[in-house]
Amino acid sequence: MAARTVSWLGIGFIAFGLFVLLVAIPYAVTSPSNVSRLVLSPTFWPIIISWLIIGLGAMLVVLRLFRPAEPTIADVEVPVDAATGGPWIRLAATALIMVGLVMATPYLGLVWTSMICFALLSVVIRAPQPVVSGIVAIVLPLVLYAFFAHIAGVAVPQGEFIRLP
């Protein structure tokens, strides 16, 4: 039986999550004691994200223990996708979508621009379930807007043309 290799990526995730949780948040993020809602505390979401990173790293390590050794790059033939021009074209398209997000946000607002960019990105990466991607592209920005604007009381950038309630 071949010796199992360690998932260095998983160990790196765990180390980074622990660093953020134990060093970066306590020493770099200040939180006032009079925060009215727990989710509005500046330390709440970094702590949640740190635990998620640690959990994902642990999952990578555990999954690596149960999977067989993968072939090396020399053993695998990687075909170039001629239909889309390969990964460099998709990378350039993703960069254009990001630039478009920044440029269009003052005119359309963050919610509408996010919807369009999410849909375009799912086309660029050729999402395996385009219907689900389309639904998420519409619902996720609206739910996030509803939470931040109406529950958390945070101003979400609105556009010049269309304003959400």
Contact partners, residue 86, CB within 8 Å, separation at least 6: 80
pLDDT band for position 1 (cuts 50, 70, 90) = very low
Between CA 116 and CA 102 the distance in angstroms is: 12
State the Cα–Cα distance between residues 104 and 111, nearest whole angstrom. 11
What pLDDT, in 10s, does the model give residues 53-94?
Answer: 999 999 989 988 887 666 666 655 656 555 556 788 888 999
Q: No. of H helices and E strands in the chain?
A: 6, 0
Q: What confidence score (pLDDT) does residue 51 get? A: 95
Q: How far is CA 59 from the centre of its chain?
A: 18
Cα–Cα distance, 141 to 139 (Å, whole number):
6
Beta carbons within 8 Å of 46's beta carbon, 6+ residues apart: 20, 24, 25, 29
| The predicted structure's pLDDT at residue 92 | 92
Report the share of the chain in percent with pLDDT over 90.
Answer: 44
The answer, yes or no, to whether residue 104 has pLDDT greater than 80, is: yes
Taking 60 as the threshold, does the pLDDT of residue 138 lie above it? yes
pLDDT greater than 70 at residue 7: yes
What mean pLDDT is predicted for residues 123-128?
Answer: 89
